[in-house]
Amino acid sequence: MHIAEVRNLTKVYRMGPTAVYALRNVSLGFGRGDDVAIMGPSGSGKSTLLNILGCLDVPTSGSYFLGGEDVAHLNDSELSAVRSSRLGFIFQSYNLIQQLTVVENIEVPLYYQGWSEHDSYDRAVALARLVGLGDRQDHRPSELSGGQQQRVAIARAMSNNPLVILADEPTGNLDTATGREILELLDQLNDQGRTIISVTHDPKVAARARRIVRFEDGEVVDDSG
């Protein structure tokens, strides 16, 4: 059973009289425990797909089912609720709040879900330990290395127990050794049954995934694994 699925997805951007197709009639399904790398040249549609999967954008036409619900054409507040309750995000630039500690950054999604202060703190501390930052939980992002900041981002992505974790170039700002550590952490999460969908330009990153989907000109040209 698919926990995330797009059907006949099309995204068109209007530039004056010109229609630019970012996605053309794309259909893909993702099951529980999938580990998928999405690849393709710049402008191929992979980032547009990730934005729609993350409920950060909506398609021009087609359907997007997340947990069995078609979320393709919800309004902004409804999409925000879906993001906070069903999705986890890992960005190349970490997107941490500089004024907050490690634990406080991990707690952010739980705040929006209305968790109690006590329960959200306990959950964040447990996740900080899980990603190897138990001794850094009171540090702020400026006191952490890039790899440590990405570990915070991974813990934050897991905090709401999401259906899907979406990663946008998760090792793009990291050196090779640190990037390998982050990928190993993502592998561990996938082994625990987490569904992970990553966009990457790096063939070495993609090679670790169990499935690779390649885009060109807004269309899927290969789906293997």
Query: Three-state SS across the chain?
Result: CEEEEEEEEEEEEEECCEEEEEEEEEEEEEECCCEEEEECCCCCCHHHHHHHHCCCCCCCEEEEEECCEECCCCCHHHHHHHHHHHEEEEECCCCCCCCCCHHHHHHHHHHHCCCCHHHHHHHHHHHHHHCCCHHHCCCCHHHCCHHHHHHHHHHHHHCCCCCEEEEECCCCCCCHHHHHHHHHHHHHHHHCCCEEEEECCCHHHHHCCCEEEEEECCEEEEEEC
pTM for this prediction: 0.92
Q: How confident is the model at residue 114, as a pLDDT?
A: 87
- 26-36 confidence digits (pLDDT tens): 999 999 999 99
CATH code 3.40.50.300 for 2-224 = yes
Q: Give me the residue spans of the domains in the chain.
A: 2-224
Pick the range with the lowest mean pLDDT from 17-21, 75-79, 97-101, 110-114.
110-114
For 120-172, what is each residue's pLDDT tens digit? Answer: 999 999 999 999 999 999 999 999 999 999 999 999 999 999 999 999 999 98
Residue 204: band (very low, low, confident or very high) from pLDDT cuts 50, 70, 90: confident
